[in-house]
Each structure stands twice: as structure tokens, then as C-alpha cells.
Chain A
Amino acid sequence: MDDVSQRTIEIIAKAKNIPADSIKPETSFEEINIDSLDKINISFEVEEAFNIEIPDEALGSLKTVGDVVNGVKQLIEAKAAGSASAS
């Protein structure tokens, strides 16, 4: 598993106090009882870990662990592209 996926899964696992190896990219929030408070907490931790900012409108569309991982990767790429074009 790549580093971003691994770290994101570890953040989610820690937030829910469950083993990281019990979570797969296809795991839905519903399966692991992620509610609105968990979602906001996880988003914050992910933003801090990867130095990214998740737009408000993106939060509502996150339904699975994979959604979070893919979103994080996109934001990291977008940020890198933004820095590259600025320099």
C-alpha cells in the first residue's frame, strides 16, 4: 500500500479506535460507524497530517475510506502543481 493510503487509514483507525488492518479502501463510513463528528475530526487530522485544505463542499461527498484517500491524493497533487507553477 502506498504511503498516503497507509497514513490516511491509520488516521481513520485511530479516530475510531479500531485496528488499521480492519479497514480497506472499499470500507464504507457506515460499516465502521463514522458519524458527522467523526468525519469532521478525521478531516481535520488529515488536513494537519498532509498540510492540505479540504473544501467544505467535498466533505458531504465522502462515503468510503477510498473517497478520503483519493481526495487526499488529489489535493496533494493540486497543491504540488500550484507550487510548481508559482516557482
Chain B
Amino acid sequence: MNRVVITGLGCVTPIGSSVAAFRESLFAGRTGISPIVNVADAPEGDPGVRYKQAAQIFDFDPAQHLDSGIATATNRNAQLAIVAARQAAEQAELLQHHAPGDIAIIMGCACGGRATEESEVKNLYTRNARAHPLTIVRTMSSSGASNISIDLKITGPTLDISTACASATHAIGLAFQMVRTGMSTAAICGGQEAPLSWGFYRAWDSMRVVSPTQCKPYAANRDGMTLGEGAAMLVIETFESAQARNATILGEIVGFGMSADANHITQPQAEGAAMAMRKAIADAGATPDDIGYINAHGTGTQANDATEAAAIHLVFGERGSQIPVSATKSLHGHSIGASGALEALATVIGLQDGRLPHTAGVDTPDAALNVDLIINEPRATGPTIALSNSLAFGGLNAVIALKTYTGK
């Protein structure tokens, strides 16, 4: 089986629309969470919900990146995906070194083109209007994956995975397996999501799991999640192909684990999350003692954080209270289908720089969770293996294991 290394990164996120900007915000603890504004079609742009903030991207103009034909045939989610994928492909010199048919595009996107979905339905129901002819292609969840293929002229296996909050981690894991087994020599993998529409805000409001202010993952006073949007991409390829052309290797994917809770449509279960973590560790050929950092799913809800902490203790036993943990949703919010990709990006950057990102906005970790939560500032680390957890609604769990690349 091939070793799988990371040679390109790209992103458009609430904390930076380039990897350099993302990195700077990550280590400065500068969040992208701000008051919700300008929600399309909502009275005075206000969605009328109990929570007031979200992680929004303000510096993205599709006209700067896409010609009018592509811009009109896509919603924001696919537009973010195209731009982030371009960054990663350029850094990796992907098309210079891999045949188009040998490259896979595996994306996570759960919500698709919500803005179009809502506006078209509104027009239909209120005035029996005709649908815009591009409604279907704007709204389909696979739009991001397809448009990356079209934009970069990649003809290999291209697909979208939709598993709610675990979509992007599932996508990265599948791409990893495809490159590891040689089905593809390289892949662009990650996720995109731009779900911040009026109806989406209201649907989440009714679930009563969104923080009135902002998420404080693993904190004693945590009171819910913060919604967000964004796209993040990794280019991965075989170690041999990267080495052959002396590519800069940014990190390595070493394992992937999946499980399902088989329990409840919204309430997570520790045993399910623990199984996915154990499988990722075993798939990496490692033991729990080898894990030096966990990028938690850490949404900031009472249920998730308590369950995830319990899962950590099930897997790691006594070490469970000693492994550094942080939740970067405190910075970039919860972008649903894309969140696993933003967290993978944060983890890769953290391992590469030897600095583990901290959990912003948390003064007092919940002692009952009994984890070593990184707060206040990043923490130095040597080379290690990290887990990035995604624990989704419906009990779908995906965990990837990432390793610092040390030059060999």
C-alpha cells in the first residue's frame, strides 16, 4: 500500500481566504464569528432567530474568480470549492505531475445550493413563478465536485459525500484510501458548504442547539454551536510521486476510521465515536499512546462535547486526560459538510508548524470532561500523530489520523 502525503492546501473560510491568512488567524486566535447580517430575503436582512452570530465569509466575490457562465450556474458553495481547489492544485503543481484521469476529486457537501433552493421555492409557492433554468445544477450537492472537475479539467473519479457534519472527513478518508490502494495517484479532497440562508438559520433555531452568542467548545459554560460556511481542500498523492519530483510535503494521512452509533438521530453516543477513533488509530498502524493531539468535533453543545470527551476516555484510558485537545470550531464555526476539511487544514498546519491551535473564547474548561483542553494560546509540539474527529447527526462518525512529515 502507498504512503499518502499532502502536497497542496487551499481554503476560503471565515478566518482567511488563503492558507496564509487562515494560518495567521488560527494561531492568533482571531475568530471569524460575527453578527449575522444581510441574510437574503429576510426582513432587513435579519433572520429573526434567537442567536445573533455566525461564522461568515465577507471577502469573497465570485466575479473576481469565475467567468459569468460558471458564476450563474453555481451557488456560493461550489464557488468557494472551485477557488479553494485551485489554491491547493496550484501549490501541489497537481496537473503538471499527474494525468487528469489519475486524479480523484472527493468532496464533502451536505447542504448543496441552499440559497437557490429557498429562493426558487419561495417564488413558486408565493406566485407560481417559473423556476430558473439552472436551478437543478445550482442546488445539487455534487455541484462543487463537478465544478472542480470542470475548472481543473480533471477526469478521474469525482463524487460528493453527504453525511451531515462528517461529510468532509468521510471525503478525505475515502480519497486517502483510493490513493493508498493505487486506485488514483492523487486526489483533491475536502469540503465546501455555504448554507447560511434564512430558512437554514430558522431550522437550526428550532432545534435550540445554537449558542445565543458564540460556541465555547468544552467550556464549563458552553451553550451551543455557531453555524458557519467555508471550503478547504487538500491535495494528496503517493509519497513516491511526491518524492520523485522533490515536492514540498506538508503532512501525511496515515489512518481513517468510520462507525455509526445506531442510536439516535441527534444525540451522539460515546461508544460509536470511540470505535471510529480506535479504527483510525489501528488503520494508522499506531497505538493510543502514539496520539499527541486531537482536533475535536467540539461543536460547543452540551451533548456533543460530553459524549466526545467520554469517547476519548474510552479509547485512551488514563491518558485521556493528558492528550492535548482543541476545538477549532471556536474560530471558524461549524460549516456542516465542510467542517471536517477546515479542521483537517487546521490540524495539518498545526503539525507542520509544531504548534497546536487553541480553543478560542474559553476561559474555564469543563472539569467534568477531564480533558487537556488547549486554551489561551497555541501549544508547542514535537512531531506526532493527530486525530481529527467528525461526529455527525444520525450518529455517523469519521476520524482521520494525520502525521507530521519529518523529511522521511
Contact = CB atoms under 8 A, between A and B. Distances in A.
Contacts of B206: 40, 44
A59 B302 CA distance: 14
A37 B265 contact: yes
B267 A36 contact: yes
12 contacts: A35-B264, A36-B264, A36-B266, A36-B267, A37-B264, A37-B265, A37-B266, A40-B206, A40-B207, A56-B50, A56-B208, A59-B208
Contacts of A56: 50, 208
A40 B204 CA distance: 12
Interface string A64-83: 00000000000000000000
Contacts, number: 14
Contacts of B267: 36
By DSSP majority rule, is chain B's interface helix, strand, loop, or mixed? loop
A59 B208 CA distance: 10
A20 to B, nearest CB: 25
Interface string B198-213: 0000000011100000
Interface of A: 35-37, 40, 44, 56, 59
A56 B206 CA distance: 10
A19 B267 CA distance: 28
Contacts of B50: 56
Interface of B: 50, 206-208, 264-267
B132 to A, nearest CB: 32
Given A44-B206, A56-B208, 12 more contacts: A35-B264, A36-B264, A36-B266, A36-B267, A37-B264, A37-B265, A37-B266, A40-B206, A40-B207, A40-B208, A56-B50, A59-B208
Contacts of A44: 206
Contacts of A40: 206-208
A53 to B, nearest CB: 9
A36 B208 CA distance: 12
A59 B206 CA distance: 13
Contacts of B207: 40
A40 B303 CA distance: 15
B261 to A, nearest CB: 14
Contacts of B265: 37
A21 B288 CA distance: 55
Contacts of B208: 40, 56, 59
Contacts of B264: 35-37
Contacts of A36: 264, 266-267
A44 B203 CA distance: 12
A56 B209 CA distance: 9
A84 B50 CA distance: 25
A59 B209 CA distance: 12
Q: Enumerate the 7 nearest inter-chain pairs by beta-carbon distance, A residue then B residue, closest first.
A: A56-B208, A44-B206, A36-B267, A37-B266, A37-B265, A40-B208, A40-B207
A59 B266 CA distance: 17
A35 B267 CA distance: 11
A34 to B, nearest CB: 14
A44 B206 CA distance: 8
A40 B205 CA distance: 12
A40 B264 CA distance: 14
